[in-house]
Amino acid sequence: MKQVAIRVENLSHFYGSHQSLKNISLEIYRNEILGIIGPAKSGKSTFLACLNRLNDLIPGSRVEGRILVDGEDIYSPEVDVVALRRKLGIVFATPVPLPLTIYENIVYGVRLLGRNNRKELDWIVEDSLEKAGLWNEVKDRLHTSALKLSGGQQQRLCIARVLALKPQFIMLDEPTSGLDPISTMKIEDSLRTLKKDYTIILVTNNTKQAARVADRTAFFLMGELVEIDETPVVFTRPADKRTEDYILGRFG
Amino acid sequence: MRISPKIEQKLVQVVLYTFTSTAIIILIFILAVIFKNGIPQLSLEFLTRNPADMGREGGILSTIVATIFLTFIALLVATPLGVGTAIYLTEYTVESRVTRIIRFGAECLAGIPSIIFGLFGFILFVNKLGFGWSILSGGLTLAFMVLPTIIRTSEEAIKAVPHAYRLVSFSLGSTRWQSVTRVVLPSALPGIVTGVILSIGRSIGETAVVIFTAGSALRMPTSLFSSSRTMAVHFYILAKEGVSMPKAYGTAAVLVISILIINIVTYYLMEKYIRRKS
C-alpha cells in the first residue's frame, strides 16, 4: 500500500570524532509529509544533509550505514551526486536568494543543465512560482532583484527554486523559523498542496507545525531517533517518555 | 598628573585630525605641483605627436601607446593567474600547511623591491628567452610584480562571498566550477576589480621594472617585440638627464590624470554594477 521511497539503515554520522547521528533506521514513504522534530543540535539538519550528500562539503564529515533512495545506495561510488541533489531539493532555515533577479533565481538550477530555451524557462518560472504560492505577488517584477522580497516571499522563492528542479523529494530545514505567522501559514498551505506530487521531509523546531502538517512525525534527540509514527500517535500516545516530555515542553 | 577627560578628548581630536589632514595635504600638494607645471604643457599636439629631439620637442604619443600596451599585457597575464590562484586557494583546497605556504610565498613576492623584479625580468625574458628589451618582456615582468596584489585582493573578495550562496548553489545541483563561475565570482567581482585597478595604477607608474625589461626607445612600438619607453620612464629620463623639465611635467600630468580617470570610471561602473545586483 505505502511505497517506500527512502530507506535509511543504521545511519551514523561523524564530524571528526564527534558523532552527530547514532544508528538511525527509518523509512520514508512516497507522497507523505514526514515531520522531524527535536531540540537544537539533535542531528535533524545533519540528517537532511546526509540524504542529499551536502555533508560531503564539510571537511571531516563521515557516514556509516546505508541510505537507499528508490532502492539505490546513495553512498556507493558510482552515484552521480549532482543528480542526487536535484532529486532531493532542500530549503534552508534562512532564505538565501542568490544575488540575481527573481527569474534567474528560479531558473538557476535549470540553466546549470544547459537548458536555456526562453519559452521553457518562462513556463518553469510561472509554474514553480504558482506552486509555491508566490506567482501573483511577483509576476510583475520577475526581473527585479530577489533580495528586495520580504522574508516570507524569499522563503517561498526558495521553495519555487527547488520545485523548478523537478525533484522527487523536498526537504525543508525549519523553513518558517524566521517568519511571521501569516507567511508561515502560506508555506504550510503550499506544503499540503505539494504533497500530491512530492515526498516532503519537514524538519521543524516548532512541534505544533509538525502536528499541523506532517502525516508522520519522527523525534530526534541528541543524534538518536527516539521514535517515529503517525503524527496523531506521536502527539497523543507517544511510546517514549522523552517524546512526551519534549512535546509537552518539559525540555528543549 | 591626570589630564581632565574633556581636555584629553580635545587633544586627541586635534592630533588625529592633524594626522588625517597630512595625508590629504600631501596629495593636494603633489597634484598642485604637477598640475601647475604640467597643465600648461598639455595640448592636443602634446598627446598626438611622437617625441622629437630626445623628447625636447614634440609630444608623447609613442610613450602613451607603450604604456597602454605594457599595462594591457601585464593585466592580461596577471588577472587570470591571480584570480585562478585565489579560486584554487579558497574553493578547491581546505586550509592546510600547503595553502599557508602558497599564501606566504605570494606575500613574500609582494615584498620584493620592483628593481629586483626588473633584474629578474632582464635575466629571464630579455636574455634567457631572447625576447630582448620589448613590450613583451616588460609586460610579463610587470605581470609578476602585480600578481601578489591580485591574488590577495581576489582571495579576500572571494572569501567575503557568503558561504550560504555556495551551499544553495550545490543544493541546486551545481558542480563546484559552476558555483564558482555563476555565483562566487559575480559576487566577488567588485573586490577583484579593485585589485586589478590597483595593479593598473602600479603598472602605469612603474619605472624600475620597465627600464630593465622594455628599454627606453622613443620610437612608436610596432610589435610585441619593440623596445619602447613608457610615460613613467620618459618622465624619469627627461627629468634626470635634464632634457626638458616642462616636457617632464607635461608627461607627469598626463600620467596622473590617466590614473585618476581610470579610478573614477571604474568605481563609477562598479557602483552601477553593485546597485543593479542588490
- Taking only the tens place, the pLDDT of each residue in A76-98 is 999 999 999 999 999 998 999 99
* Mean pLDDT of the region B47-73: 91
- For residue B31, pLDDT beyond 60: yes
Shortest CB distance from B170 goes to which of A59, A85, A162?
A85
Q: Which amino acid is at B202?
A: R
B183: closest CA of chain A, how far (Å): 7
Q: pLDDT digits over B164-210, tens only?
A: 999 999 999 999 999 999 999 999 999 999 899 989 999 999 999 99
**For helices B97-111 and B135-159, angle between their N-to-C axes, nearest 10 degrees:** 130
How many Cβ atoms are within 10 Å of B186's Cβ, its own excluded? 17
CATH (residue range B44-277): 1.10.3720.10
Q: Does B154 touch chain A (CB under 8 A)?
A: no
The vertex-A192 CA angle with A189 and A196, nearest 5°, equals 140
Q: Does A60 touch chain B (CB under 8 A)?
A: no
List of chain A residues whose C-beta atoms are within 8 Å of the C-beta of residue B166: 57
- For residue B1, pLDDT beyond 70: no
Q: What is the dihedral of CA A35, A38, A41, A45, to 10 degrees?
A: 0
- Listed by number, the residues of chain A in 1-40 with a beta carbon closer than 8 Å to a beta carbon of chain B are none
Q: Which amino acid is at B275?
A: R
Q: What is chain A's percent helix, strand, coil content, to nearest 5?
A: 40, 25, 35
Residue contact B172–A54, C-beta within 8 A: no
Question: Is residue B267 within 8 Å of B193, Cβ to Cβ?
Answer: no
Closest CA to B232 of B262, B209, B261: B209
List of chain A residues whose C-beta atoms are within 8 Å of the C-beta of residue B165: 96, 98-99
* Closest chain A CA to residue B173: A82
* Closest chain A CA to residue B92: A57
Pairing status of strand A33-37 against strand A199-203: parallel
pLDDT band at A252 (very low <50, low <70, confident <90, very high): low
List of chain A residues whose C-beta atoms are within 8 Å of the C-beta of residue B187: 99
Find residue A34's DSSP bridge partners: A201, A216
- Which of A50, A57, A90, A98 to probe the B interface (max B CBs under 10 A)? A98
Shortest CB distance from A54 goes to which of B94, B171, B183?
B171
d(CA A64, CA A128): 36
pLDDT of residue A58: 85
Find residue B21's DSSP bridge partners: none
d(CA A25, CA A27): 7
List of chain A residues whose C-beta atoms are within 8 Å of the C-beta of residue B174: 82, 109, 112
pLDDT band at A229 (very low <50, low <70, confident <90, very high): very high
Q: DSSP code of A225?
A: E
d(CA B257, CA B253): 6
pLDDT of residue A1: 57
Find residue A24's DSSP bridge partners: A11
pLDDT of residue A138: 92
Q: Which amino acid is at B196?
A: V
Q: Would the CA dihedral through B182, B188, B194, B199 be positive or negative?
A: negative
d(CA A6, CA A27): 6
The percent of residues in chain A predicted with pLDDT above 70, rounded, is: 99
What residue segments make up the domains of chain B, in order of their start?
5-41, 44-277
How many Cβ atoms are within 10 Å of B54's Cβ, its own excluded? 14
* Mean pLDDT of the region A69-73: 91
Pairing status of strand A61-69 against strand A4-15: antiparallel
d(CA B99, CA B173): 28
User: What average pLDDT does the structure give for chain B?
Assistant: 91
Helix (H, G, I), strand (E, B) or coil at A88: strand
Find residue A173's DSSP bridge partners: A203
Q: Which amino acid is at A112?
A: L
pLDDT of residue B199: 93
- For residue A59, pLDDT beyond 90: no
* Closest chain A CA to residue B178: A112
Find residue B52's DSSP bridge partners: B57
Closest CA to B98 of A17, B106, A58, B149: B106
Find residue B187's DSSP bridge partners: none
List of chain B residues whose C-beta atoms are within 8 Å of the C-beta of residue A109: 172-174
Shortest CB distance from B178 goes to which of A83, A89, A112?
A112
B93: closest CA of chain A, how far (Å): 10
Q: Which amino acid is at A181?
A: P
* Mean pLDDT of the region B5-22: 92
Shortest CB distance from B170 goes to which of A54, A94, A165?
A54
Q: How far is CA A44 from CA A38, A167, A209, in A?
A: 7, 21, 15
List of chain A residues whose C-beta atoms are within 8 Å of the C-beta of residue B94: 59
d(CA A238, CA A246): 11
What cell does A43 get? 542531528
- For residue A251, pLDDT beyond 80: no
Domains and CATH numbers, chain A: 4-247 (3.40.50.300)
List of chain B residues whose C-beta atoms are within 8 Å of the C-beta of residue A178: none
Name every residue whose Cβ is closer than 8 Å to that of residue B148 and which is 6 or more positions away in sequence. Answer: B82, B106, B107, B109, B110
What cell does B33 get? 605641483
DSSP B174-236: --HHHHIIIIIHHHHHHHHHHHHHHHHHHHHH--HHHHHHT----SPP-STT-----HHHHHH
- For residue B150, pLDDT beyond 80: yes
Q: pLDDT digits over B99-113, tens only?
A: 899 889 988 998 999
Q: What is the pTM of this model?
A: 0.84
Q: Does A156 touch chain B (CB under 8 A)?
A: no
Name every residue whose Cβ is closer than 8 Å to that of residue B138 and which is 6 or more positions away in sequence. Answer: B70, B73, B121, B209, B210, B213, B214, B228, B230
* Mean pLDDT of the region B254-272: 89
List of chain B residues whose C-beta atoms are within 8 Å of the C-beta of residue A112: 172-174, 178, 182
Question: Is residue B214 within 8 Å of B126, Cβ to Cβ?
Answer: no
Q: How far is CA A33 from CA A87, A214, B75, in A?
A: 16, 5, 55
